[in-house]
Amino acid sequence: MPALLSLQDIEKSFGPNQILHKVDFQLQKGQVHALLGANGAGKSTLMKIIAGEYTKDAGTIEIEGENVHITSPGHAKRQGISVIHQELSLVPEFTVAENVYLGKEPVHGLGSFLLFKSEAVRKTQALLDQYQIQLDPHSKVGQLSIGQQQVVEILKAISEDSRVLVMDEPTATLTAAETNQLFEVIRSLQSKGIGIIYISHRLDEIQQICDHVTILKDGRKTAEGPIEEFSNERIIECMVGRQMDHYYPNTAHSPGDVILELQNIEKNGVLHSVSASFRKGEIVGIFGLLGAGQSELLRILFGADQADGGQLICKGKPVQIDSPLAAMSQGIALVTENRKEEGLILELGSDQNMTLTSMQQFSDYGLRNLGKIRDVAKQYVEKLNIKLPGLHHPVKHLSGGNQQKVILGKWLLTSPDIILLSEPTRGIDIGARSEIYHLLDQLAHEEKAIVIASSDVDEILGLCDRVLIMFRGEIIAEVSQAEASIELLMEYASGARQSTGVGG
Ligand SMILES: Nc1ncnc2c1ncn2[C@@H]1O[C@H](COP(=O)(O)OP(=O)(O)OP(=O)(O)O)[C@@H](O)[C@H]1O
């Protein structure tokens, strides 16, 4: 039987840079096929070719044995190929059914429009039944969770008879429970013969949901086969080209004086009586499910949002942090989750982007020291393993993960005393993650206070000296690295285990 989708010898260049080199990829019916590779390896470029967003320079594409020449996104859709992007394209004011059948409504006449609406509900319900998905076709999409909204996107794709679904980091913004629900939907699609190309940097998920892997490195396929043949170690080796002995640094820190103290921080409806203290030279994790208040807390500490009550004490003095500028003058930096929106000037190169925020460091008598800028940028490009054609190359052309690394580099360069990070490795490949963990460890040894809010349990357990766990806007427990385990963290974070009465 021919493969559902077969790519052979695909090549693609942008200007002088060849991005894909004779890449082969075969997707079978009912397969969940992981497409893996470090940031910049070429995964998105390959997917954009099958989605009709880019045209290939060479190679062939076959769908169920038939040669196709995909010319546009519309054409790819008609061939049964759909991409579920991270940024969803739904209309929040419309119902589930209206969103699924959006764009297919009749143009003329109220009568036929009303008929269309009831037809849309009927057809959506039929799809929900067919795939055994629990969702009300009448619900307004804006009121659904992100996980449910993603399911609506999937329904939209299958309503158009998609046979190939590309999912790009589908769980990046999902809670653990939503991830499990998504996996159930994926299994149901799989059982009906739909093929899924699954892109993710989370190896635990890949082992759980995928049955086949293809790995790219620098635009070349380095390995392919059933998931059973791939341990995490082997996957990493194929991705980064070497073994990784010490993924986490695992060095002991010796925390010094308290540098930042939070006393009863309140934010109406979001945070309740949050007290904590952070010391020089330690890495503290803040763990909670999505919406537990951890990112809001960091925004308040950085002055991006204002608290409604409570007190902050920085370096022994009560302080008012009412703007990011005020935070920066106290030596506080925040690497946010929305790195793309908040972080880059797309037309500028990585050197400029990384050094803009810490310009004083790179100026001599008011003039920019271009040599210094270049040297420091180069150093961080190496440290963070940023893949780019050149330091001046506009960051808009970098892969998503590499853009994130540039922003991370920018903040690390401001030489802060207190570094707050929200989901610091989301979208970042495994090799670079490890580099970042080692860098943060080194910064802790240089007496910086590091605070990481993350929903990645593995990262919290592997990196942090102690963990504060948030549930519904409160810190309900504090556990040391020695005590922490996935089960314990999840029990607290889900509310199944009660508070240990922390505070202070
Ligand atoms: N439109 C473009 N113009 C120039 N270069 C591009 C363009 N799109 C992608 N590239 C380059 O192609 C390479 C591969 O990028 P791609 O986005 O395919 O990587 P990826 O494997 O999806 O990475 P990530 O995990 O970071 O998303 C990168 O070096 C990127 O700079």
pLDDT above 70 (res 190):
yes
196, HSE (Cβ side, Cα atoms, 13 Å): 29
Cβ atoms within 10 A of the Cβ of 5, count?
26
Indicate the residue type of 39.
N
| pLDDT, averaged across the chain | 88
The best mutation among 397, 405, 407 to test binding of ligand 1, ranked by most ligand atoms within 8 Å of the C-beta, falls on 397
User: Could you tell me the CA-to-CA distances from 304 to 19, 195, 333 in Å, in that order?
Assistant: 39, 43, 11
Which uninterrupted H or E stretch holds 165?
strand 164-168
The Å distance, Cα 429 to ligand 1 centre, comes to: 13
CA-closest residue to ligand 1 atom 16: 42
Q: Residue 296, Cα to own-chain centre: how many angstroms?
A: 18
Distance CA 391, CA 376 (A): 11
Output the pLDDT for position 313: 96
pLDDT above 80 (res 502):
no
The Å distance, Cα 396 to ligand 1 centre, comes to: 10
Alpha helices in 309-399 (DSSP H): 324-329, 339-343, 350-355, 370-383
CA-closest residue to ligand 1 atom 6: 397
Average pLDDT over residues 151-158: 90
CA-closest residue to ligand 1 atom 12: 19
**pLDDT above 70 coverage of the chain, percent:** 94
Torsion, Cα of 47, 51, 54, 59 (10° steps): 70
pLDDT above 50 (res 383):
yes
Which residues, in sequence order, are CB contacts of 371 under 8 Å at separation 6+?
none
Name every protein residue with a CB atom under 6 angstroms from any ligand 1 atom: 14, 19, 37, 39-45, 387, 397-402, 429
pLDDT in tens, 3-43: 999 999 999 999 888 999 999 999 999 999 999 998 889 99
Alpha helices in 270-318 (DSSP H): 294-301
The residue among 113 and 371 whose pLDDT is bigger is 371
* Model ipTM over 0.90: yes
pLDDT in tens, 405-456: 888 888 888 778 999 998 888 878 888 888 889 889 999 999 999 999 988 8
Distance CA 281, CA 255 (A): 5
pTM to 2 decimals?
0.79
pLDDT in tens, 455-486: 888 889 999 999 999 998 999 999 998 899 88
Distance CA 212, CA 210 (A): 6
pLDDT in tens, 307-345: 999 999 999 999 999 999 999 899 999 887 766 666 788
Distance CA 81, CA 25 (A): 15
Distance CA 427, CA 302 (A): 23
Output the pLDDT for position 504: 42
Q: Give the residue among 175, 16, 149 at the shortest CA–CA distance from 89.
A: 149
Distance CA 448, CA 281 (A): 5
pLDDT above 90 (res 260):
yes
